[in-house]
Structure 1
Amino acid sequence: MFKDYNMNQVILPLDLEMKLQENDIAYAVHELVEQIPDEAFSAFLRDTGCPAYHPRMMMKVILCAYTQSAFSGRKIEGLLKDSVRMMWLAQGYEPSYRTINRFRVHPEVKELLRQGFVQFRCQLVQKDLIDDEAIFIDGTKIEANANKFTFVWRKAVERYSESLIEKSNAMYDELIEKEVIPEIERESPEQLSIKELSKIEEKLEEKVGEYNEKIETSADVTERKKLRSERKGSKQFLKQMKDFVLRKTKYENDMAIFKERNSYSKTDHDATFMRMKDDYMKNGQLKAGYNLQIATEGQYTLAYDIFPNPTDTRTFRPFLDRVENDSFKLPPYIVADAGYGSEENYIDVLENRKRIPLITYNTYRKEKKKSFTKDTFRVSNWDYNEEEDLFTCPNGKLLPFRYVSHRTDRSGFKREFKVYECEDCTGCPLRKQCTKTKDGTNRRIYYNTKWEQQKNKVKELLSDEKTGEIYGQRKIDVEPVFGFLKAILGFTRMSVRGKEKVKNEMGFAIMAVNLRKYTAMSAE
């Protein structure tokens, strides 16, 4: 005996909500989007044209699709036709993939996502899922939607630009010397601008035009042959000058796109070429990508941002600024790995934000090894006389304080070093082991007092039982988010281009990870 099954019988449509399970993720998506204030959707209102789909419905549809690893507009459109939870969230509407793609890259969606993260954090606080004691910061690289071999390198552009300046200056001097064109007013004697190169091009075109008129009006074959021969040189100059104008324009556009970066992709100008961990050939190939920074607590992402530079050190301060301005007040402890440990970042957390940094530095683990502490040629293991302000080397020679040196890095941060120099290294039997400087020069020590104090402070914090335990939570708090995003959700590559559009899509993907975890925890 079978249950009744008849395809020819008409069945009345039922409410789709009855088909959903009690803890279905569609309810979590619905609850989150409904908490976003109505004012956030006012920017989508239009007085003319066909009535648009409600942005609440579009937000729910895209968020739910991302939780099911559907990232393309066509896949989302397909889910709207055959997924019960998507049908319920859309309430029977079926927006096309073009509408979906236009909505998720809309500039105003950025504010909706921000509001969504704020409301989600409030929801976590109300249910005591986070305790506001610390945030855990880390970054990962996400591949951009760009072709692999479309790179443009800053050093190459600078080299070709310098060569162009030399060639254009030499050609201009040659044109003046041969009296092909008259002199022009120059803004700078070092290089010709695009405007000046275009002016020279116009002069050469006029010169070639004069030759053309003379050739057409002349009836003498010998004279015409002579004029063609003279015109040949001007035409060659004109051809080269046109090439110079095009190249000069291109190089200036390239430098404007670079800004502070060393590379960009031709298919996505905001993407930078970075080393990815999924380099299967192990040959150091670079891919166009973005640096994703997140702040987590309880394995929930509370804030995120996208950066074009591959290193984490320089993203730390702007990311914390974004967290404070857009998301929430920073908790007492800020936890991050050694990639964020720098003098500038420690000063920012301790002095500017009045927080406690649980951030290691590059040599933290190395300094704890016996091989490091017993190395007599490391300055940190040398005897230091605080009263006389001098070091003593392994050979018993004194290195007194000489002067103060200042260094400025690429970001404009200034560091102060105290320079100590040995009195005399001549004939020292330990010279080759102690220093690599040339013979006749004495060993120097560049000692950064501020940095050494910060390192000692971090060592004390990480040695303490409470703060050491908080730092120990870092790996099990922030790392699983990246693992879930890439391995389980399958989000490893962007499907849109441009930093602002990428930021919107990344917001949907990260919130999808949050909702998946939240739903799983609620079910338990």
Structure 2
Amino acid sequence: MAIKTYHQNQLHLIPHSFDDLIPEKHPVRLVNKVLDQIDSSPLVNAYDESGRPGYHPLLMLKIMVYAYMTNTYSSRKIEKALRENINFMWLSNMTIIDHNTINRFRNSKLEQCFKDIFKQIVLMLAEEGVITLKEIYTDGTKLEAQANRYTFVWGNAIKTNKAKMLKQLDELWKYAHQIEVGDQEPSKLEITEISSHTIDQVLKAIDDRLNEHSIQPDQATKKKLGAVKKNFKNRLIDYEEKEKILDGRNSYSKTDHDATFMRMKEDHMKNGQLKAGYNVQISTENQVIVNYSVHQNSNDFPTLKPHLEQMRELYGEEQFQELEVITADAGYGSEENYQYLEQQGLLAYIKYSTFDLERRQQRGKKAKQNLKNKQYLHYNAIDDYYVCPMGQHMTKIKDKQTKTSSGFIQHISIYEAQRCEGCPLRSSCHKSQGNRRIERNHHLEHYRTLMYERLLSEEGIEKRKRRSIEVEPVFGHIKSNRGFKRFTLRGMRKVNLEFGLHALAHNMMKMAA
């Protein structure tokens, strides 16, 4: 049997080069070539002039970007790859870097200038004609935080506990006041918000009355009074600290204070549960991520404005003004977003919440009219009234204002029917005790009519089809193909950088493809 000779320790006249072992069109060569072309001065300026010389920032950046392209996110695994992986060894020129150094670079040095590096790569793609930066498709997804799933703080629980504390103070106040007024009805403690000053004020008033009348409270009252003196102030300080961390949110994780509990989709059956996470928003063009942002809101509609404002800050006012069209799903269809996009001069193709339902009804699916739905009531725009199913005029009785969680003011008009008593259609029309009332937001209805016509146009139909093959595959690639479903870092600052590295790696992979 013919066997080739094998001498493991045989010396070579001309030593092997890593360059000979790496294919010509390998992605690692692209990383090296592209990052050599960017302006790395912001990254160099992030280093101190004094102290021991560090590894070259461009070397560290190349290693970090290629690591995320190969699904290597741990600093220890990156260090291991620098010792064992030919591609990493070629890229670093056999430089072995400690995992602590890699971690410090990612968490402190890279964060300061990463957005600028990301922008330069996107602008390179624009110069090559891959994208135009005139049209974007926007969507969001929820990613689980690196946090304990069962240690949480709920804002509503704090409100409930503070209300119970206030109720106990009120009971003690009534007890003390009863001593003076006897059988008369005691006055109520007129305090709506509990504070340290409130607790001191009530306890002092109670002690003064008990001492003045030389009365010893019964055992139950004495125990309750002792608990208030011992625990209430400390509990209140704890609640105030937690409310400061919440900052208007409804929850946060004890192991990652920036993470909010959101309902995550676990599988194709949408069987999910509440987990600490972040809402990640991206805008794409030709499946290239041109902008990304991380938010603490579980809903998408309050994230659109800050997402676009971050894009304006990233590319500058002149470049942002070239943006013309934005397409998104119904999660962004709110009056505030429609008005903002109109003010920015952007042509929006964004569904509102009932768009698909109206389309199904128009095509004859589930077309049975629901008289309780105001969309089936005729509206006379000239004289400003509705017509109920029985033909009566529903006139406007008042206007009101409501404020959204973001502070946006909505103007609502309220209309009321005249004579609902004895109407044969009343049971199928409404269930209120008096005459039927409906609310109408004329400004929002204007935008809905505009969007309905725009989305049903030829261009609108094409935009809706295009949206499903623009953003969704990008999320599918990052979450399923690359296995990134949970952050490895904690805190909004680090999480923002971590997803940015994934976004940059995705764009580099698109360039390589």
Contiguous gaps of at least 5 residues in structure 1: 179-187, 205-232
Mean alpha-carbon deviation: is it higher for 80-89 or for 255-264? 80-89
Q: Distance in 1 between matches of 2:128 and 2:332?
A: 31
Deviations 1:262-290 (A, max 9, x none): 00000000001111111699664211111
Choose from 336, 340, 347 the match for 1:348.
Answer: 340
Shift of 1:260: 1.5
Let me know the Cα RMSD of the aligned residues. 3.1
Q: Distance in 2 between matches of 1:31 and 1:270?
A: 37
Structure 2 matches for 1:55-454, cutoff 5 A?
55-106=57-108, 108-167=109-168, 191-193=194-196, 241-278=229-266, 284-327=272-315, 328-329=319-320, 331-351=323-343, 353-368=344-359, 369=361, 370=364, 375=369, 377=371, 378-438=373-433, 441-454=434-447
Q: Distance in 1 between matches of 2:125 and 2:139?
A: 21
Q: Distance in 1 between matches of 2:301 and 2:101?
A: 39
Q: Match for 2:276: what amino acid?
A: A
Q: Contact 1:299–1:481 (CA<8 Å) still a contact in 2?
A: yes
Deviations 1:293-350 (A, max 9, x none): 0010001111101101111011010001001111351521111000000000000001
Q: Distance in 2 between matches of 1:36 and 1:238?
A: 68
Shift of 1:387: 3.4
Using a 3 Å threshold, how does the CA distance of structure 1 residues 112 and 246 change in structure 2: closer, same or farther? Answer: same
Q: Match for 2:131: what amino acid?
A: I
Shift of 1:240: 6.2
Structure 2 counterpart of 1:28: 30
- Counterpart of 2:469 in 1: which secondary structure? helix
Shift of 1:193: 2.1
Q: Match for 2:110: what amino acid?
A: V
Using a 3 Å threshold, how does the CA distance of structure 1 residues 344 and 507 change in structure 2: closer, same or farther? Answer: same
Q: Match for 2:410: what amino acid?
A: R
Q: Match for 1:75: what amino acid?
A: K
Q: Distance in 2 between matches of 1:452 and 1:161?
A: 40
Q: Match for 2:369: what amino acid?
A: D
Structure 1 counterpart of 2:216: none
Shift of 1:156: 0.8
Shift of 1:361: 0.9
Choose from 433, 445, 462 the match for 1:469.
Answer: 462
Q: Match for 2:350: what amino acid?
A: I
Structure 2 counterpart of 1:226: none
Q: Match for 2:60: what amino acid?
A: M
Q: Match for 2:329: what amino acid?
A: D
Mean alpha-carbon deviation: is it higher for 293-302 or for 50-59? 50-59
Shift of 1:46: 2.0
Using a 3 Å threshold, how does the CA distance of structure 1 residues 248 and 123 change in structure 2: closer, same or farther? Answer: same
Q: Distance in 2 between matches of 1:73 and 1:362?
A: 44
Q: Distance in 1 between matches of 2:198 and 2:366?
A: 60
Choose from 15, 18, 21 the match for 1:16.
Answer: 18
Deviations 1:20-53 (A, max 9, x none): 1111111222233223323212333223322111
Q: Distance in 2 between matches of 1:255 and 1:163?
A: 17
Shift of 1:2: 4.8
- Counterpart of 1:44 in 2: which secondary structure? coil
Q: Distance in 1 between matches of 2:224 and 2:455?
A: 70
Shift of 1:4: 5.0
Using a 3 Å threshold, how does the CA distance of structure 1 residues 281 and 239 change in structure 2: closer, same or farther? Answer: farther
Q: Contact 1:336–1:474 (CA<8 Å) still a contact in 2?
A: yes
Shift of 1:363: 0.4
- Counterpart of 1:70 in 2: which secondary structure? coil
Q: Match for 1:325: what amino acid?
A: E
Q: Distance in 2 between matches of 1:176 and 1:445?
A: 47
Q: Contact 1:367–1:373 (CA<8 Å) still a contact in 2?
A: no
Q: Contact 1:404–1:419 (CA<8 Å) still a contact in 2?
A: yes
Q: Distance in 2 between matches of 1:235 and 1:430?
A: 60
Shift of 1:382: 2.7
Shift of 1:152: 0.8
TM superposition score normalised by structure 2: 0.85
Q: Match for 1:416: what amino acid?
A: H
Q: Distance in 2 between matches of 1:134 and 1:189?
A: 51
Structure 1 counterpart of 2:214: none
Shift of 1:453: 1.1
Using a 3 Å threshold, how does the CA distance of structure 1 residues 453 and 74 change in structure 2: closer, same or farther? Answer: same
Q: Distance in 2 between matches of 1:92 and 1:56?
A: 15
Structure 2 matches for 1:451-462, cutoff 5 A?
451-462=444-455
- Counterpart of 1:416 in 2: which secondary structure? strand
Q: Contact 1:36–1:112 (CA<8 Å) still a contact in 2?
A: no
The alignment-based identity, stated in percent, is: 35
Shift of 1:96: 1.5
Mean alpha-carbon deviation: is it higher for 247-256 or for 390-399? 390-399
Shift of 1:5: 3.5
Using a 3 Å threshold, how does the CA distance of structure 1 residues 52 and 166 change in structure 2: closer, same or farther? Answer: farther
Q: Distance in 2 between matches of 1:46 and 1:387?
A: 69
